[in-house]
Structure 1
Amino acid sequence: MFAPRDSDEYLLDTERRVIRVRLHWACLAWDIFETIALLAVAVMVSYLLPPSMWLVQNILWYAALFVLLRFAYVVISWWVERIVVTDKRMMMTTGIITTKVLMMPIGKVTDLTYERPLAGRIIGYGTMIVESAGQIQALNRLEYLPKAEQVYDAISELVFGDKEAQAKRFSMIQAQRKARRKPLVG
């Protein structure tokens, strides 16, 4: 049997994973509702039909089985989909049979926006909009992101950094440059 690859397998040796999450279960809400409704309709109609319509009843039961298998596929797809943020890039791995890896370098991020609808505030998800240097990336809108506030803060720290740490780094580089230019006194 096949096993989907772990998203950490796509990390480089020089990368450090900062965040790894799967989308919030709320993204499955419509599929759950749809599956329950279709199963209820199939079962009720099947039991209301007279026994002489056995062919229609069989078709309804096969339709119900198809609805259950489709829902299982949707849940497994959700389970294997991961969003990974490292110190160098953002990645999303998707797919059960064919794995797809979406990637965007952290250095290309120019702006981050994060939204939390009312339902997201109640059950804990949000949407993060990632803008990059003049182009639309595959990871430009991440909906149903769990703990969106923490993910937003972590990516903001990676992209825009701590101002004090950047200032210290800049002054250290400047001091190293001055030391190289200083003539040797003998």
Structure 2
Amino acid sequence: MAYPDDLLSEDEQVVVHKHPHWKMLIFPVFVLLVVVGGGIYLATLVQQTEWAMIGQIAIAVVGGILLIWLVLAPFVRWRTTHFVVTTHRLMVQEGVLKRTGIDIPMSRINSVRSVRGLTDRLLGCGTLIVESASDEPLEFDDIPRVEYVRTMLYRETNDDPNDDYVRKQGR
């Protein structure tokens, strides 16, 4: 999915656009399976009682609330979180009802590093740490292909003429 062009300046191009890694969705998928399976099991247990209709409605309401809170909300949060590197800046936007974002001009980025634990290395993601002119370094967790993103940020901040080769290879 391309990043909205109306947020970019005229001569700005998107170099990398990522959502957080899919590992953020493991728990919601597990909850989905448990809630649906548990709801079906409880609905069949309640079916043989005299208050079957009220019990099934209560199970459906509780199951629906759990699915919205623990499955749908994290999925929408994942889908609406954008990590974007352009030719001029690094942008991170997240949120549905309350959108928050940060833009860091490439000229303000001092250093970029990545941290990857064993699980992150197996899943192909990691934490990107960007040190800019601000006081504290900014950490962005669960960035897919974090080594590639770090390399692209480095190339964009240093205007490496070979960056077209890397863009063609890694996107």
The answer on whether the counterparts of 2:35 and 2:67 sit within 8 Å (CA) in structure 1 is no
Aligned-partner Cα distance in 1 for 2:62–2:90: 40
Aligned-partner Cα distance in 1 for 2:105–2:62: 44
Q: TM-score, normalised by structure 2?
A: 0.75
- Following TM superposition, by how much is the alpha carbon of 1:10 offset from its aligned partner in structure 2, in angstroms? 0.7
Aligned position for 2:108: 108
The answer on whether the counterparts of 2:91 and 2:104 sit within 8 Å (CA) in structure 1 is yes
Aligned position for 1:184: none
Unaligned runs of 5+ residues in structure 1 are 163-186
**Which of the pair has more CA radius of gyration?**
1
1:1-186 matches, cutoff 5 A:
6-49=3-46, 50-54=48-52, 55-70=54-69, 71-136=71-136, 140-162=138-160
- Following TM superposition, by how much is the alpha carbon of 1:87 offset from its aligned partner in structure 2, in angstroms? 2.0
TM-superposition CA deviations, 1:153-174 (whole Å, max 9, x none) = 0111223454xxxxxxxxxxxx
Query: Structure 1 stretches (4+) deviating beyond 4 angstroms?
Result: none
Structure 2 letter corresponding to 1:80: T
Q: TM-score, normalised by structure 1?
A: 0.70
Distance 1:86 1:6, change over 3 A: closer
Distance 1:130 1:12, change over 3 A: same
- Following TM superposition, by how much is the alpha carbon of 1:76 offset from its aligned partner in structure 2, in angstroms? 3.1
- Following TM superposition, by how much is the alpha carbon of 1:97 offset from its aligned partner in structure 2, in angstroms? 4.6
Aligned-partner Cα distance in 1 for 2:107–2:34: 46
**How many residues in Structure 1 have an aligned counterpart in Structure 2?**
157
Provide the identity percentage: 22
The answer on whether the counterparts of 1:90 and 1:105 sit within 8 Å (CA) in structure 2 is yes
Instruction: Name which of structure 1's ranges 143-152 and 113-122 shifts more when overlaid on structure 2.
Output: 113-122
Unaligned runs of 5+ residues in structure 2 are 161-171
2:92 partner SS: strand
The answer on whether the counterparts of 1:7 and 1:93 sit within 8 Å (CA) in structure 2 is no
Structure 2 letter corresponding to 1:153: T
The answer on whether the counterparts of 2:90 and 2:104 sit within 8 Å (CA) in structure 1 is yes
